[in-house]
Chain A
Amino acid sequence: MRFAVLVNAGPYQYQGADTAWHFTRAALDGGHDILRVFFYHDGAYNGNRLLVPPQDERNVGARWSRLAAERGLDLVVCVAAGQRRGVLDAAERRRHGKDADVLAPGFRIAGLGLLAEAAILADRFVTFG
């Protein structure tokens, strides 16, 4: 089955960001396809590569990057939600004249159209947070 995943929860404040990751990994382990993981609202913060949790805690952001590298995931941060929250890639940084970009490896920035597309093409659309 082809799933599209929407993550609205930011890292650490709510469990939703964790549950989305566990769900995604479990679906892949079960032989399903994850068409796309789209990060919206505070979920955009999951794409911040500068998260530095205490060493004895999970790194919610880096965990997505690792899963994407190992399994080939399409991780998309909404451009508008990311801009509001300072989650910029190099192109966005230049476009807005900022001095830093924070998008984590394995993530890309794109418009809400990719959320609609994923929901249309997937067999199941699952929201977290």
Chain B
Amino acid sequence: MPERVRKRFLYLLRRPPHGSIFAQEGLETVLIGAAFEQSVSLLFLDDGVFVLKRGQDPGEIGLKDFAKGFRALPDYDVERIYVEERSLAERGLTPADLIMDVETVSPERAGALIDAHDVVLSF
């Protein structure tokens, strides 16, 4: 593979963490993308904001608490982690309810982010 190719990847997390496997398998994809030394950012919106909510204990329903894996992303050189602010507010959440520090963005800015990236993967 040509070494000089570097693209801007944006991963959209749009679904809640445990109702489907999208967020869990999505995280696996994010880690691989980062390993390829691409520019990688994440944007949580819609029910995807629940992925980062504090105090989850999915062990009670036999599921892995994979969401804490997102906290490790800064160690993988993930550039930015954005959360769309209206999605948070509509669900009665604030950044203080989340397991990690994030950058909140308006719906308009979220759209501009999608536009500004080369590759968009949605989970």
Q: Is the CB of A127 within 8 A of B121?
A: yes
Closest beta carbon of chain A to B118's beta carbon, Å = 8
Inter-chain CA distance A117–B120, complex, in Å, is 14
Q: Is the CB of A81 within 8 A of B25?
A: yes
Q: Is the CB of A119 within 8 A of B32?
A: no
Q: Is the CB of A111 within 8 A of B32?
A: yes
* B100 interfacial contact with A, CB 8 Å: no
Extra contacts, 10 of them, besides A81-B25, A116-B36, A120-B5 (Cβ < 8 A), are A6-B121, A40-B25, A40-B29, A41-B22, A112-B29, A119-B33, A119-B121, A120-B38, A127-B121, A127-B122
Inter-chain CA distance A111–B32, complex, in Å, is 9
A-contacting residues, B102-123, CB 8 Å: 119-122
Inter-chain CA distance A117–B33, complex, in Å, is 9
Nearest first, the 6 closest Cβ-Cβ pairs linking A and B are: A112-B32, A116-B36, A119-B119, A125-B119, A116-B33, A120-B5
Q: How many residues of B contact A (CB 8 A)?
A: 19
Chain A residues positioned under 8 Å from B2 (CB to CB): 121
Inter-chain CA distance A65–B22, complex, in Å, is 26
Inter-chain CA distance A41–B2, complex, in Å, is 28
Q: How many residues of A contact B (CB 8 A)?
A: 17
Chain A residues positioned under 8 Å from B36 (CB to CB): 113, 116-117, 120
What DSSP secondary structure best describes chain A's contact surface?
helix
A residues near B (Cβ < 8 Å) are 6, 40-41, 80-81, 84, 111-113, 115-117, 119-121, 125, 127
Closest beta carbon of chain B to A87's beta carbon, Å = 14
Chain B residues positioned under 8 Å from A116 (CB to CB): 29, 32-33, 35-36, 38
Interface centre among B7, B28, B29, B122 (most CB of A within 10 A): B29
Inter-chain CA distance A111–B35, complex, in Å, is 13
* B1 interfacial contact with A, CB 8 Å: yes
Closest beta carbon of chain A to B38's beta carbon, Å = 7
Q: Is the CB of B28 within 8 A of A80?
A: yes
Inter-chain CA distance A112–B27, complex, in Å, is 11
Inter-chain CA distance A84–B24, complex, in Å, is 12
